[in-house]
Structure formats: C-alpha cells, structure tokens
Amino acid sequence: MNHPINRRAFLSTTAAAGASLSLAPHLSLAAEADADPTILGQGAHRFRRDAEWTFKSAEKPVPVADCHEIVRTKSCNLILCTNHTQNNLIEFSPDGKVVKTFGTTYPGSHGLSLSNENGEEFLWLTDTQRRIVVKLDLTGKEILTLGWPEKTGKYTKEAEFCPTETAVNPHNGDLYVADGYGSNWLTHYSASGEIKGCYKHDDFNCIHGVAFDDRDPKNPRLLVTSRAANKLFTLSLDGKNLGHIHLPGAWICRPVIHGQNVYFAVINSGRLEWGSDFRGFVMVLDKDNKPVSLIGGVPPTPGTEGESALYRNIDPKPFLNCHDVCLDEEGNLYIAHWASNQTYPYKLKPVS
C-alpha cells in the first residue's frame, strides 16, 4: 500500500485550513480561525486525521485498487468495496483490523449500500463493467441479480446502462438504482425486483448517488446527486422533482445521511481534472440541506469569477480523490479514495 501523504505532509497540508476559509453569505458556518492548523472543517463538524490508522492484516497486506464506497454494519464493522478482484469486499473492524475479504467476480465494483430485512443485513453492489446490480448476504452469497432494465422502455441496448449506486426503502424494501454512468435514469424496483417506475429530470447529469432520506419520518424522500451538474436533487418516492440545490464546482458523489446531516465526498472541485490532481474534500449539509462544514474545502468568494466563485479544496490538499464517506457511532469519519495509488481509506476523528 502506498500513502502519498504521510503524517508530516498532512500537518503541513492542513496548515492553511482555518485561515483560508472565507465564508459565502448563504453558508451557516462560523467564520473562525482555528488555533490548531491540523483541524479541518468548521463549527460542530471539525475533524483531525488519525494518521496512524490503517488496515491491519494478520497475514499480508490486502490489495486494493479504486476504493469506492464504505458501509457500516450493525456489528459496528465496516465493509469497503474496491475493484481489485482479489478481494472486491473487505470487512474490517473500527480499529482497522481486517476481519475477512470476499468477492472476486466484480471487476467494476462501484456502489455499495446496506439494507436490513427483519434483522438480517444485505449488501447491494453495483458493477459498472458487468452492468449489474447484485444483492449479497454478508458472506458474499448472491441473492438477487438485476441486469439492464429493458422492460422500462427507456433503453435500447445493455450498453446504455451503467449503474453506480442503489438505495433501499427500509419500510417496504423498494430499491432505487442510479444509472450514473449510463443514461441517467433512476429505476424504481419492488423488493422482489419488479420494475415500478423509471425517472429522469432536467440536469440529471451523472446521477452518481441516491439515498433514502427519512430525516422527516412523516415525509420520506430521495436524495439524488447530479455530480457533473454540481447539484443535489430531492425527489418524492415516486420520482417527482421536489427541487434541488446548486453547489457550483463541487462534483458530489453519493449522499450519506448521518443523524440530521448529509455528508458528501467531493471527488473534484473547481475544475475537472481527473486522476492525480487530487482536488477532493468533504462537504456537510444540515437538515435543510445547507452547507455547514467544508472538511478540506473552502466556499465560493462572493462577487468573484472563475475558480474563486466555486466550492473548491484548500491548498495544499489534505485528501486525494474522495469518493465516499462513512461515519461510526462515535462520529469518526472514514474516507475512501478513487484513483489514488492504491491508498487505503483515511480515518478522521471528530474534534469537540
């Protein structure tokens, strides 16, 4: 494994975090300069990287390729998906100890969601190369496989479908599949895999992520990220467009709901330069979907043009190409990186 940013580099990287933050008027952030330059984020959502934390394998290092997404099970372990076919799925404890690895047949392993059915947990994996969605139990046994949704009438061939993410309605088991790398349709299935709908709206452009949002239990909705449009959409459960917020410059991946907040890995910011540019950060929204913390990022500067008018990373850069986040019950933040020299996830600890 290669860590491009070591502890010393990380400390110098974050040195500008507090002083560099100039807040846009619509951000409900406290304009503060932290005395400790290693702290990233603002207000109630501030973190410091645990630079000593990493995977701990009892035998030999577990190889990874692109580390795409992470979920947390009710046992408090975390499961990471990577497109390395020696181990597409890696289960590890909160302290980083590898519990087990499984899955070798998903070369496009990308999206990973978790559902709970009468106390039993299942994984929902999207494979962008095989163009499928697979339901697995926690041992890796395949329970259900969904291919391209031909019956919707929205697709003329399988090549038009390339799923990136899923979300499950915990109340009835309905499944939503985001076709983020294909034709940008959000397909709605019953728990048994029967198609119930297929939805698309203007400015759906790389609908990379979808999440079931029940922060208001009486009014559950869907959150859909339109990554290339830098927008977060809110939909009804039957696909109606309820509005969106625009986050210019922020290529947001999937929405991750934790308590009343939404966390995003922002894979790129400012301008689109994929690969080794490493322009990512993490954004936190409040219950009203307003930004309240930019972990490794800075907001637009009012009255400016160009990159300063966009959400962007701090410089020097504390992260790589952030692709997903996961939080545990203690509020620790785990960040997975895409195209980042086979780097394991980072762990950040909350700062009170």
pLDDT band at 135 (very low <50, low <70, confident <90, very high): very high
Q: Please state which of the ranges 3-12, 70-79, 221-230 shows the lowest mean pLDDT.
A: 3-12
Greater confidence (172 vs 60) lies with: 172
User: Does residue 1 sit within a domain?
Assistant: no
Whether the predicted pLDDT of 261 surpasses 80: yes
- 190 closest CA partner among 175, 169, 177, 179: 175
> What pTM does this model have?
0.90
Hey, how many other C-beta atoms are within 10 angstroms of the C-beta on 9?
A: 14
Which ranges in 21-60 belong to alpha helices (H)? Answer: none
pLDDT at 226: 98
Give the pLDDT band of residue 137 (cuts 50, 70, 90).
very high
Q: Calculate mean pLDDT across residues 209-232.
A: 97
- pLDDT at 152 > cutoff 70: yes
Q: Cα torsion for 85, 88, 91, 94, to the nearest 10°?
A: 100
> In Å, how far are 21, 23, 24, 34, 211 from 31, measured between CA atoms?
7, 7, 10, 10, 30
Residue 264 lies in a domain: yes
Question: Comparing 227 with 23, which gets the higher pLDDT?
Answer: 227
Mean pLDDT within 312-336: 93
Using the predicted structure, report yes or no on whether residue 352 has a pLDDT greater than 90: no
Confidence of residue 274 (pLDDT cuts 50, 70, 90): low
Confidence of residue 12 (pLDDT cuts 50, 70, 90): very low
Residue 198 within any structural domain of the chain: yes
Give the separation between CA 117 and CA 99, rounded to whole angstroms.
Answer: 23
CA 171 to chain centre: 23
Separation between Cα atoms, residue 282 and residue 295, nearest integer Å = 5
Residue that wins the pLDDT comparison between 314 and 9: 314
Domain that holds residue 221: 7-350
In the chain, % of residues over pLDDT 90: 79
Pairing of strands 175-178, 186-189: antiparallel
Residue 65 resides in a domain: yes
Of 39, 3, 7, the residue nearest 21 (C-alpha): 39
Task: Specify the pLDDT at position 119.
Answer: 94
Q: What is the CATH number of the domain that holds 155?
A: 2.120.10.30
Q: Report the DSSP pairing between strands 231-235 and 165-168.
A: unpaired
Q: Assess if residue 267 is contained within a domain.
A: yes
In angstroms, the CA 23 to CA 1 distance is 37
How much is the pLDDT for 270? 72
Of the candidates 202, 203, 204, 198, the residue with the CA atom closest to the CA atom of residue 184: 204
Can you tell me the mean pLDDT for 194-203?
Answer: 98
Which tokens sit at 49?
A: 């990287």
Give residue 157's pLDDT. Answer: 97
Question: By percentage, how much of the chain surpasses pLDDT 70?
Answer: 88
Q: How many structural domains comprise the chain?
A: 1
What local confidence, expressed as pLDDT, does residue 37 receive?
Answer: 74
Q: Does residue 2 lie within any of the structural domains?
A: no
Average model confidence (pLDDT) across the chain: 89
CB 79 within 8 A of CB 70: yes
Q: Is residue 50 part of a domain?
A: yes
* Of the candidates 293, 325, 321, 351, the residue with the CA atom closest to the CA atom of residue 66: 321
pLDDT of residue 272: 56
Q: Among 118, 109, 114, which residue's Cα sits nearest to residue 135?
A: 114
Is 202 within the bounds of a domain?
Answer: yes
